[in-house]
Chain A
Amino acid sequence: MSNTDFALAVEDLTVSFDGFKAIDKLTLYIDKNELRVIIGPNGAGKTTLLDLICGKTKASGGSIKFKNEELTGLDEHIRVRRGIGRKFQTPSIYENLSVFQNLEVSYPAGRSVFGALGFKCTDEVKARVQVVAEEIGLADALDMEAGLLSHGQKQWLEIGMLLMQEPELLMLDEPIAGMSARERELTAELLKRICKNRSVIVIEHDMEFVKQIAHKVTVMHQGKILAEGSMEAVQADPKVIDVYLGH
């Protein structure tokens, strides 16, 4: 496995659950500052791929290199500290804490036990929370309990929590699921803004939304990559039409 200029290089990645290969010798490269969308039918292994990259699932074989450093074998929190952020499919926020606290806790300082004991919410942290809250449109809701937010706002809050960490690779699993048309538009704009200094991988089903945001699209099917390229090229691909788009 040679070193590359890619932000993320996944090579021959395999994971099997009781003999079933959820991801089968998959190879995928993500450029720096790229926004990649992964599409595919249910059970294609899209979420499993993100799980493997962030460490939630351990790979059975192959390699995952982030900025030319091997990730397989590292604990989840170490991968996060290297610069990988992951948003889950269902909004995963701390419902009992305020929006401010949700963002504050995600600030990348005081991450060890004693670091957290001595952590002080400095003006710098407050300013950062303010910036991110404005970015995700929740600046007016900082004191609100996060559990009271609407579904769409919860999704934004989780994206905001990831932005607090300034990740170099951001992975979003169906960020617009359950959102209204207006919220989808706002999310598309948000994604376009935040992919400027980082690579972003998005899993999405909504083709209109994919068209709006994607630089490049990867189609997955049965744990393998079926097609890769621009949205137009992928949509015209007969294999893709057959397994996914046509039905």
Chain B
Amino acid sequence: MNQFKAWITSRGLGSVAILAVLLLVVFPLVFDIFRLNLVGKYLTYGFVALGLVMLWGYGGVLSLGQGVFFGLGGYAMAMFLKLEASDPISTKIQSTPGIPDFMDWNQLTALPLWWKPFEYLPFSLIAVIAVPTLLAFIISYAMFKRRVGGVYFAIITQAVALILTVLIIGQQGYTGGVNGMTDLKTLLGWDIRTDSAKYILYYLCALMLLGTIVLCAWIQRSKLGTLLLAMRDKEDRVRFSGYDVAMFKVFVFCLAAALSGIGGALFTLQVGFMSPSFVGIVPSIEMVIYAAVGGRLSLVGAVYGTLLVNFGKTYFSESFPDLWLFLMAALFIGVTMAFPEGLAGVWTQKIVPWWQRNQAQRRAVRLAVAKDAATPADPSSAAPTTLSGQSA
């Protein structure tokens, strides 16, 4: 019985452990490197979904522009890799060797000043987190301090996603335009396109994702997590308990942005390119669907949701490419109507109680049988056992 209790209390971490086994052992054994690399790509969206669990599920702030931060992180990484791939020898056929090819095509003759720091890996890695966080801070501080929230905030994040897409596509010479940054080859001389590199990057991605879950779980268990839940319920009460509600929302928005940025950088590393198609409105909304399907209150659920929707996307868009968008929309509407807490909600509210009821019934039957064998039935002593079994 004590072991059972210990199991219940540690269940928060138990589900993380199961996910860890799945990601670190089962997937690498089951999938070939092509499929595993695909899973690795999905897992990078998982960072965004985890951010949305914190932001949307816990903080009650819906952002429809997480692709912006995913893209900024991805571009920061891509800029470093692109500069490394654009050494003077491999670009010697260009009119200006030594600068990225798309700059040369757009008649740029020198590397723009703001590109220069991205020659250094430490700077680029810091930028992966700092640039999305900084933009998130500016947007959210301006909005939340003015008490803009709910639908209005969601619309503003959409607008930002649109603006950034237009900016990236329009400034072809600086960003690679609609094609994005392609032909990324090496990281400090290490070829990221080989199978062994893909394995290493997959494990890096999976471990960082698991680390992120643990970090988010820790935040949820802290007073800050309780406050986020309290704010979602009664914002004024929190404010009139002496808390600057806006700053808590700013924090969780920046956290979600930083996580998205990390996801974006890992995407660039594993997929080998970055383009505006991961920044705009549609991918941003897709990312919200991952979190909704998995369960916006469950960290582990969000990762499963991301994997499931993306497996579905790959399968259906290979078999029925025209139908996929409709299916995805139906999935989103269906999940939010029928299971507001997603897969995680189905698990905790339907499957687990059903299992426990089942177990309790069996125990009651066993008990009744044992009693029948010993003495004539005594219903008053059998009843409490059934009750405690149900509440366990």
Contact = CB atoms under 8 A, between A and B. Distances in A.
* A and B physically associate: yes
B199 interface: no
A116 B222 contact: yes
A97 B242 contact: no
A108 B227 contact: no
B241 A116 contact: no
Interface in B237-270: 237-245, 247-248, 250-251
Interface stretch (A35-43, A73-81, A217-225): A73-81
Contact of B241 (A56, A75, A117, A165): A165
Contacts of A158: 237
A101 B226 contact: yes
Contacts of A56: 236, 240
Interface string A62-94: 000000000000011100110001101000111
Interface string A81-121: 10001101000111111000100111010111100111101
B217 interface: no
Q: A interface, how many residues as a size bin?
A: 20 to 34
Given A80-B241, A92-B234, A165-B242, A97 B226 contact: yes
B237 A113 contact: no
Nearest to B250: A113
A9 interface: no
Contact of A105 (B226, B236, B240, B250): B226
B195 interface: no
Given A77-B242, A96-B229, A165-B242, A110 B223 contact: yes
Contacts of B229: 94, 96-97
B224 A94 contact: no
B219 interface: yes
Interface in B188-241: 219, 222-224, 226-227, 229-230, 233-234, 236-241
Given A113-B247, A119-B223, A76 B239 contact: yes
Contacts of B224: 113, 116-117, 119
A60 B282 CA distance: 45
B244 A77 contact: yes
A7 interface: no
Contacts of B222: 116-119
A59 interface: no
A3 B237 CA distance: 31
A80 B230 contact: no
A156 to B, nearest CB: 15
B247 A106 contact: no
A92 B239 CA distance: 12
B197 to A, nearest CB: 36
Q: Give the most central of B222, B224, B248: most A CB within 10 Å.
A: B224
A97 B234 CA distance: 11
A116 to B, nearest CB: 4
A94 B230 contact: yes
Nearest to B224: A116
B260 to A, nearest CB: 19
B223 A116 contact: yes
A30 interface: no
Contacts of A93: 234, 237
A96 B58 CA distance: 12
A112 B243 CA distance: 7
B247 A105 contact: no
A53 to B, nearest CB: 11
Given A88-B236, A116-B224, A117-B222, A111 B242 contact: yes
A97 B230 contact: yes
A161 interface: yes
B234 to A, nearest CB: 5
Nearest to A80: B242
Contacts of A81: 242
A69 B223 CA distance: 31
A54 interface: yes
Interface string B26-57: 00000000000000000000000000000000
Contact of A92 (B226, B236, B242): B236
Contacts of B234: 92-94
Given A76-B240, A80-B240, A94-B234, A117 B248 contact: no
A54 B240 contact: yes
Contacts of A121: 223
Contacts of B227: 105, 116
B242 A95 contact: no
A202 B251 CA distance: 36
A111 B240 CA distance: 12
B298 to A, nearest CB: 15
B219 A117 contact: yes
Contacts of B240: 54, 56, 76-77, 80, 85-86, 88
Interface of A: 54, 56, 75-77, 80-81, 85-86, 88, 92-97, 101, 104-106, 108, 110-113, 116-119, 121, 158, 161, 165
19 contacts: A76-B240, A80-B240, A80-B241, A80-B242, A88-B236, A93-B237, A96-B229, A104-B226, A105-B227, A110-B223, A111-B243, A116-B223, A116-B224, A116-B227, A116-B243, A117-B219, A118-B222, A121-B223, A161-B237
Instruction: Pick the 6 closest A-B CB pairs, nearest first.
Output: A80-B242, A119-B223, A116-B224, A94-B230, A116-B223, A92-B237
Interface of B: 219, 222-224, 226-227, 229-230, 233-234, 236-245, 247-248, 250-251
Given A56-B240, A96-B229, 18 more contacts: A77-B242, A77-B244, A80-B240, A80-B241, A88-B236, A94-B234, A95-B233, A97-B226, A104-B226, A110-B223, A111-B242, A111-B244, A113-B247, A116-B243, A117-B222, A119-B223, A119-B224, A165-B242
